[in-house]
């Protein structure tokens, strides 16, 4: 390993080492003091974030072109590390209250983030697959970690089986692309396609299978069937992490693969992605209307937002808009991550030890008994809908602008119409909180309160002064 190799993966190397050492250190921490493990895990993430931010503006290619450090990976990795910190924050009191506080919980989160970060830096299809498995396997375990709950075990099994199934699609797609181009490196694949040396049909088939595999991971239609059951069955703190972290990693990989490995077939792929985006928005939003459980409602909401992010890929058909499409996509991921963690923090605050308190009707009276929490939940629901003054609105406007410039007006119209549909089930939560009588029981935990409070402030403040975030997203370019 030379200096460039080491430096390109320095944050990942540090976090991997920290995660492994945390497993060993945890053996010597008393079962009643597992909060120490959480603090150590958060410290590891903070250290890694500092190293990641120190690499801002640098471009380094490592391991013979298999990984790359650039503006895109720095932005995405920072967002992933932020998601990890929020995941620990919402889990700290929750897993203790549910009786599933184990030191390995936090190590599994760190190992999953290692896979997510590697996926953002991958420049070779083999590395993409390795990273996909690294991020997925800890999530399978985390989904089933509440082994006293049959629903949690069921969620873990479903996630594992369908995750393995989707991994098979990715491997088969990689094999076809390798057969067509003679390489798994993004640059060589793109060069082979550009020079006409690749078997076009095989490349298209391989790209389609890779898309199917990642479609499962991000919950895009028609590969979304696992999402509601897994989101409902998994411990809520795990669901919060999956909803943001897995989506960020999956979309970052999709952007990297299709922007750098298949740029010359983007014209053929973009319409397909546009149709998938439209179907995902429609199915996610329409199905969410009928849900009475807040976790299932947010699961379908997550599917719908996967459709909004997929809108960015429609602009890939126009090379001049590719950088804008990537910027719009990752900006929306930031907006979604902040809003999502805030929402899940409030859901955890109302969830009881026996797992009850997850019906939407259980939020009745929250506006009277917990006005600040209700106000924060209102902000999150407005942001997910895309109503000002929230970051969700800014993210959608950014996406819609790029889609319209790419001449996909019909897709933008579907995005607007489905946003109107989503207003029904998001605003229903607000109506129940303020207009119905009830005495909801909430949990007062400092880290939970900090999480939903800070996310509510960020959702509003960043929507009022989005220039810095816009500039950072616009500078997060792939090399």
Domain regions of the chain by residue span: 263-479
In whole angstroms, give the CA distance from residue 169 to residue 128.
Answer: 13
pLDDT in tens, 434-473: 998 888 788 778 888 999 999 999 999 999 988 888 888 8
Per-residue pLDDT tens over the stretch 74-115: 999 999 999 999 999 999 888 888 888 887 899 999 999 999
pLDDT at residue 241 is higher than 90: yes
390: Cα separation from own chain's centroid: 19
CA R_g for the chain: 21
Determine the pLDDT at residue 11: 94
Question: Two tokens at 331?
Answer: 């900006």
Question: Which stretch of 31-35, 41-45, 50-54, 334-338 has the lowest confidence by average pLDDT?
Answer: 31-35
Please give the average per-residue pLDDT across 167-181, as a whole number: 92
Q: How confident is the model at residue 355 (pLDDT cuts 50, 70, 90)?
A: low
Q: Do residues 473 and 324 make contact, with C-beta atoms less than 8 angstroms apart?
A: no
Average pLDDT over residues 180-198: 88
SS3 of residue 225 by DSSP: coil
Residue pair 364/437 in contact by the 8 Å Cβ criterion: yes
Ranking 6-20, 27-41, 387-401, 406-420 by mean pLDDT, the lowest is: 27-41
Token pair of 184 as six digits: 């798994």
The helix/strand/coil state of 437 is: coil
The alpha-helical segments, DSSP class H, found in 261-408 are 266-289, 294-310, 322-350, 366-369, 371-385, 391-405
pLDDT digits (tens, 9 = 90+) for 319-333: 788 888 888 999 999
Greater model confidence, 267 or 360: 360
């Amino acid at each position: 390993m030379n200096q460039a190799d080491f430096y390109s993966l320095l944050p990942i190397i540090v976090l991997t080492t920290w995660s492994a050492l945390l497993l060993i250190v945890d053996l010597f921490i008393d079962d009643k003091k597992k909060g120490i493990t959480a603090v150590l895990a958060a410290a590891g993430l903070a250290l890694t974030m500092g190293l990641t931010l120190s690499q801002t503006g640098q471009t380094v290619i490592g391991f013979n072109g298999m990984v790359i450090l650039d503006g895109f990976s720095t932005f995405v990795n920072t967002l992933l590390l932020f998601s990890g910190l929020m995941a620990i924050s919402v889990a700290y009191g929750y897993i203790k209250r549910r009786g599933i506080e184990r030191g390995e919980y936090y190590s599994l989160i760190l190992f999953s983030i290692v896979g997510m970060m590697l996926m953002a830096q991958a420049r070779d299809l083999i590395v993409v697959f390795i990273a996909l498995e690294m991020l997925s396997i800890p999530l399978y375990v985390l989904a089933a970690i509440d082994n006293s709950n049959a629903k949690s075990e069921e969620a873990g099994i479903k996630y594992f089986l369908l995750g393995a199934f989707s991994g098979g699609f990715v491997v088969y797609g990689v094999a076809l692309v390798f057969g067509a181009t003679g390489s798994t490196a993004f640059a060589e694949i793109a060069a082979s396609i550009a020079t006409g040396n690749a078997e076009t049909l095989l490349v298209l088939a391989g790209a389609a299978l890779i898309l199917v595999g990642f479609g499962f991971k991000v919950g895009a239609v028609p590969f979304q069937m696992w999402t509601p059951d897994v989101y409902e069955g998994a411990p809520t703190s795990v669901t919060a992490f999956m909803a943001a972290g897995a989506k960020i990693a999956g979309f970052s990989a999709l952007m990297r693969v299709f922007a750098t490995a298949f740029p010359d077939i983007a014209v053929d792929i973009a319409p397909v992605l546009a149709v998938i985006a439209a179907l995902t928005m429609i199915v996610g939003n329409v199905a969410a209307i009928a849900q009475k459980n807040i976790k299932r409602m947010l699961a379908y909401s997550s599917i719908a937002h996967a459709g909004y992010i997929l809108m960015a890929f429609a602009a890939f058909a126009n090379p001049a808009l590719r950088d804008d499409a990537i910027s719009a996509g990752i900006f929306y991921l930031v907006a979604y991550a902040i809003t999502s963690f805030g929402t899940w923090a409030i859901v955890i605050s109302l969830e009881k030890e026996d797992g009850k308190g997850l019906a939407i009707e259980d939020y009745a009276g929250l506006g009277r008994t917990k006005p600040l929490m209700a106000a924060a939940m209102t902000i999150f629901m407005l942001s997910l809908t895309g109503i000002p003054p929230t970051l969700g609105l800014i993210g959608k406007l950014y996406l819609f602008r790029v889609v319209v410039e790419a001449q996909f007006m019909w897709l933008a119209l579907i995005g607007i119409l489905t946003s109107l549909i989503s207003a029904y089930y998001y605003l229903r939560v607000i109506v129940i909180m303020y207009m119905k009588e009830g005495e909801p029981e909430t949990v007062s935990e400092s880290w939970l309160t900090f999480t939903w409070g800070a996310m509510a402030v960020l959702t509003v403040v960043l929507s009022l002064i989005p220039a810095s975030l816009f500039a950072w997203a616009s500078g997060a370019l792939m090399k």
